[in-house]
């Protein structure tokens, strides 16, 4: 039995694979493409260790993590040219420090409103669509 907490980000098990595709390791986190792509380029940046709150990190680690978040957001902006990127740090049900990076497009879904975490009408891509999206973000990192 593993000493890892029962956390999909720590175990990197099927639960994670069902929701996300790993794009790249960053300085202190991992960048994932969220499979639900209503907002083209939506990603998650998950901290490397099992903590739940930013204040659990020392100032240096907060800075390193936020630099990872900013680097990922810039890559999404470069790859897909959204009008705005929304940032969501939710971990009510999944206690592990992670940020959702949600590109928003003027006139697109939820413009001017909070994004839906798991919309009823999910936008999923085929394997080629996911591969192209991952490649575009990787190229911009």
Q: How many domains does the chain have?
A: 1
Tokens of 14: 């099927």
Grouping H, G, I as helix, E, B as strand and the rest as coil, residue 21 is: strand
Check residue 1 and give its pLDDT. Answer: 43
Tokens of 56: 């659990």
Q: Is residue 45 part of a domain?
A: yes
Domain at 43, CATH number: 3.30.428.10
- Reduced DSSP (H G I as helix, E B as strand, rest coil) percent helix, strand, coil of the chain, to 5: 35, 20, 45
How would you classify residue 64: left for phi > 0, otherwise alpha for psi between -120 and 50, otherwise beta? Answer: alpha
pLDDT in tens, 30-56: 999 999 999 999 999 999 999 999 999
Q: Is residue 84 part of a domain?
A: yes
Instruction: Say if residues 82 and 72 touch (Cβ distance below 8 Å).
Output: no
Q: Is residue 18 part of a domain?
A: yes
Q: Is residue 1 part of a domain?
A: no
Check residue 111 and give its pLDDT. Answer: 95
Q: Is residue 2 part of a domain?
A: no
pLDDT in tens, 61-72: 999 999 999 999
**Spans of the chain below 70 pLDDT:** 1-2
Domain housing 78? 8-140
Q: Is residue 124 part of a domain?
A: yes
pTM of the model: 0.95
């Amino acid at each position: 039995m593993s000493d890892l907490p029962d956390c999909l980000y720590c175990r990197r098990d099927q639960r994670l694979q069902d929701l996300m595709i790993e794009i790249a390791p960053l300085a202190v986190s991992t960048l994932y493409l969220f499979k639900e792509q209503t907002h083209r380029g939506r990603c998650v940046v998950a901290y490397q260790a099992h903590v739940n709150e930013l204040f659990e990190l020392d100032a240096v680690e907060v800075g390193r993590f936020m630099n990872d978040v900013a680097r990922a957001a810039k890559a999404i902006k470069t790859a897909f040219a959204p009008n705005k990127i929304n940032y969501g740090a939710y971990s009510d049900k999944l206690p592990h420090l992670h940020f959702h990076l949600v590109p928003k497009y003027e006139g697109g879904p939820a413009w001017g409103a909070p994004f839906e975490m798991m919309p009823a009408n999910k936008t999923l891509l085929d394997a080629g669509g996911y591969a192209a999206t991952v490649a575009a973000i990787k190229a911009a990192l």
